[in-house]
């Protein structure tokens, strides 16, 4: 559709991506920003899984006071008549205060009240609950509930006080809550601080994602998003290596969380999001950052860009109430009226729930596979990297729908096949598990992009938020999957496979968005892949929508928004003056003037990345609450 002149249309679209093209899509400025961000994201992966080790099961056995005064883990010959086979939580009922074979009832058992542990690395042994599996599960669930609660809190801070503010708070707070948790005197205190840690610190990934991508040009955005995901996987590897070297949960927690306190110095080096500043009408601050980026990238901005950045700010419509006749129906009401969008919302929610359930479930259950638990966890983390790389190649070569559907189905088949693999062929079981993790990692990365392309611009962020919150149901229930192994060892993998297959089948009900223009309205979203069915807006409608729109374009030339990341921001304006400078494209400034990835971008990215490493440390409970040998 041909563009209308500004004076004939009340819609003023400023495409910041054109400015990014002038700055350079990934110049030194963006590289610096990326480096800053990737470190906190890597740590965030650590914090996201630390409970897998801190709350790992341990080897244990029952204590038999009639036969041992100074117990060691390896029992004596008396274990044949005191400890029944098939259970570690019961012992034979004593008939006398003696260790003779006739002093124990061979057909009756009692619950053990004291235990002997092979080691005391986990909270399971320190807080003495080896036979209460639900307590281990509760640690992971408390962490996942904290992630769920963190979504609206982080989003509120990010939207109202800035991406930089949210990023700094979520990057530093784990250092405080993590160190406090390392001194937990009881199980209840530990669980409470685990919840608080996830609530305050888990948002560093999404806010870091925003900061990293909002200054990157279209050409580098898909790759940039997957680089963030790769560093998240690196954080999980770091977690397993540190947990292997420092197994005691209190020391491990202190080693993992103390570095987060250093991110307080990011206050002096991390810049606010230019898109957020412009959306808030703070053009002067945004201009300072853009000019700084241009200087670092050694790019010269065009006169048009300089004129736009130097012009006075336009007063935002939020300062005065909108006339009653101009108010639009609520977002929820408009979506409910669209059966197509409601169907997509339900399907996307199932995808997100399945992806998080399988992804976290495979990570948690990896420590239960045969062999070294640390090595198994490292392998499940490393296998994510080729999954993210495949996502980069497949999405732009084979399309969104075909690529994601194939990944879901391969994941489902590989996990459903596990129960039928003989025990002697353990290497095949491990290989199938790794294949499932690779495919679900590819789905996790790809679903962010595909879901955002299915919804209209003005409702995209809110609907993605709904999908993400529903998806947290999967991460909340994933820590409970080890309990299913008590009934059937392969039951969790059967459920994982079924969920993956169901999600793959549901892909048939959604349209392909590859090489399609990102929909701006509900009508356009409903008619994705349908030619000549998008009705243009009337002139009267366009005058009622005086919008200052900031959009993000992909490397393929159409617009999209990353879920909980580089999102579309819309600010309504009043009375646009004819003297306002012509709108500019931020990506054009990056590419043609500043440089796409100059020294400034590289340094900024490096600094912001440091706190993001900490998210991976949140999985330390896997080792801290690990199962230990006991009797």
3-state helix/strand/coil string of 143-201: HHHHHHHHHHHHHHHHHHHCHHHHHHHHHHHHHHHHHHHCCCCCHHHHHHHHHHHHHHH
Mean pLDDT of 344-349: 94
- Is pLDDT at 394 greater than 60 in this prediction? yes
For 81-111, the pLDDT digits (tens) are 888 887 888 898 998 888 888 888 888 889 9
pLDDT at 509: 94
In this prediction, what percent of the chain has a pLDDT beyond 70?
A: 77
Q: What is the pLDDT of residue 548?
A: 29
Q: What average pLDDT score do residues 329-351 get?
A: 84
The pLDDT score that the predictor gives to residue 549 is: 30
Arithmetic mean of pLDDT, 131-152: 88
Which pLDDT does position 188 carry in this prediction? Answer: 95
Inform me whether the pLDDT recorded for 263 exceeds 90: yes
Give this prediction's pTM: 0.71
Angle ∠(63,64,65) on CA atoms, nearest 5:
105
Q: Work out the average pLDDT over 210-215.
A: 73
Whether the Cβ atoms of residue 4 and residue 574 lie closer than 8 Å to each other? no
Tokens 């590819």 correspond to 442
Query: Among 34-43, 176-185, 260-269, 523-532, whose mean pLDDT is lowest?
Result: 523-532
Q: What pLDDT is recorded for position 376? A: 87
Q: Under DSSP, is residue 615 helix (H, G, I), strand (E, B) or coil?
A: strand
Once rounded to an integer, what is the mean pLDDT over residues 480-506? Answer: 91
Q: How far is CA 589 from CA 26, 271, 297, 495, 602, in A?
A: 11, 18, 11, 49, 17
The confidence score (pLDDT) of residue 215 equals 73
* Burial annotation 34-71 (CB, 10 A radius, 16+ → b, else e): bbbbbbbbbbbbbbbbbbbbbbbbbbbbbbbebbbeeb
Which has the higher per-residue pLDDT, 163 or 611?
A: 163
137-141, 193-197, 399-403, 423-427: lowest mean pLDDT where? Answer: 423-427
**Whether the predicted pLDDT of 631 surpasses 90:** no
Query: Residue 611 pLDDT > 90, yes or no?
Result: no
Domains and their CATH numbers in the chain: 16-56+135-276+331-516+608-630 (1.20.1250.20), 79-116 (no CATH)
Question: For residues 481 and 568, which has the higher predicted lDDT (pLDDT)?
Answer: 481
- Give the chain's mean pLDDT: 79
Q: Is the pLDDT of residue 137 over 90?
A: no
DSSP-derived 3-state class of residue 568: coil
Q: Is the pLDDT of residue 589 over 50?
A: yes
Q: Is the pLDDT of residue 590 over 80?
A: no
Average of per-residue pLDDT across 402-411: 96
Specify the pLDDT at position 74: 79
pLDDT at 325: 42
Residue 16 or residue 482, greater confidence: 482
Instruction: Enumerate the β-bridge partners of residue 23.
Output: 594
Residue 280 confidence (pLDDT) above 70: yes
Q: Is the pLDDT of residue 544 over 60?
A: no
> Alpha carbon 616 to chain centroid distance?
10
């Amino acid at each position: 559709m041909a563009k209308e002149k500004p004076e004939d249309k009340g819609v003023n679209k400023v495409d910041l991506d054109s400015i990014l093209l002038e700055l350079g899509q990934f110049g030194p400025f963006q590289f610096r920003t990326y480096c800053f961000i990737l470190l906190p994201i890597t740590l965030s992966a650590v914090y996201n899984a630390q409970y897998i080790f801190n709350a790992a099961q341990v080897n244990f056995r029952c204590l038999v006071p009639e036969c041992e005064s100074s117990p060691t883990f390896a029992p004596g010959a008396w274990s044949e008549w005191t400890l029944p086979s098939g259970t570690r939580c019961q012992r034979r009922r004593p008939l006398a205060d003696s260790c003779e074979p006739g002093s124990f009832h061979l057909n009756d058992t009692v619950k053990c009240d004291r235990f002997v542990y092979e080691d005391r690395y986990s909270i399971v042994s320190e807080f003495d609950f080896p036979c209460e599996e639900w307590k281990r599960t509760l640690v992971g669930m408390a962490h996942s509930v904290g992630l769920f609660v963190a979504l609206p809190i982080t989003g509120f801070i990010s939207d109202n006080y800035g991406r930089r503010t949210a990023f700094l708070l979520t990057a530093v707070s784990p250092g405080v809550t993590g160190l406090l948790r390392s001194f937990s005197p009881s199980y209840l205190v530990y669980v409470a601080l685990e919840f608080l840690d996830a609530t305050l610190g888990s948002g560093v990934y999404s806010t870091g994602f925003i900061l990293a991508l909002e200054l990157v040009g279209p050409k580098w955005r898909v790759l940039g998003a997957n680089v963030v995901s790769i560093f998240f996987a690196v954080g999980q590897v770091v977690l397993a290596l540190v947990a292997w070297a420092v197994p005691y949960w209190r020391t491990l927690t202190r080693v993992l969380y103390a570095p987060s306190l250093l991110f307080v110095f990011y206050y002096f080096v991390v810049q606010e999001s230019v898109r957020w500043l412009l959306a808030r009408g703070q053009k002067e601050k945004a201009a300072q950052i853009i000019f700084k980026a241009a200087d670092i990238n050694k790019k010269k901005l065009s006169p048009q860009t300089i004129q736009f950045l130097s012009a006075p700010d336009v007063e935002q419509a939020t300062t005065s109430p909108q006339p009653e006749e101009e108010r639009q129906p609520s977002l929820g009401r408009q979506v409910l009226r669209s059966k197509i969008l409601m169907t997509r919302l339900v399907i996307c929610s199932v995808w997100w729930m399945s992806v998080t359930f399988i992804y976290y479930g495979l990570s948690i259950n990896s420590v239960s596979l045969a062999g070294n638990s640390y090595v198994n966890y490292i392998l499940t983390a490393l296998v994510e990297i080729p999954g993210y790389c495949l996502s980069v190649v497949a999405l732009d070569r084979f399309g969104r729908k075909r690529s994601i559907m194939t990944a879901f189905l391969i994941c489902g088949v590989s996990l459903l096949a596990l129960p039928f693999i003989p025990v002697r062929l353990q290497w095949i079981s491990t290989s199938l598990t790794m294949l499932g993790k690779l495919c679900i990692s590819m789905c996790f990365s790809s679903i962010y992009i595909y879901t955002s392309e299915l919804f209209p611009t003005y409702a995209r962020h809110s609907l993605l938020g709904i999908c993400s919150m529903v998806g947290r149901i999967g991460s909340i229930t994933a820590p409970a999957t080890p309990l299913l192994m008590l009934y059937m060892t392969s039951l969790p993998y059967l459920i994982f496979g079924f969920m993956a297959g169901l999600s793959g089948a549901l892909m048939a009900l959604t349209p392909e968005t590859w090489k399609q223009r990102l929909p701006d309205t509900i009508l356009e979203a409903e008619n994705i892949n349908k030619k000549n069915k998008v009705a243009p807006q009337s002139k009267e409608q366009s005058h009622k929508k005086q919008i200052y729109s900031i959009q993000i374009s992909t490397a393929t030339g159409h617009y999209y928004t990353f879920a909980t990341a580089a999102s579309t921001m819309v600010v309504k304006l009043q009375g646009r003056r004819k003297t306002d400078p012509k709108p500019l494209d931020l990506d054009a400034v990056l590419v043609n003037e500043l440089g796409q990835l100059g020294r400034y971008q590289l340094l900024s990215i490096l600094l912001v990345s440091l706190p993001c490493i900490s998210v991976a440390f949140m999985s330390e409970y896997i080792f801290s609450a690990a199962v230990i040998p006991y009797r």
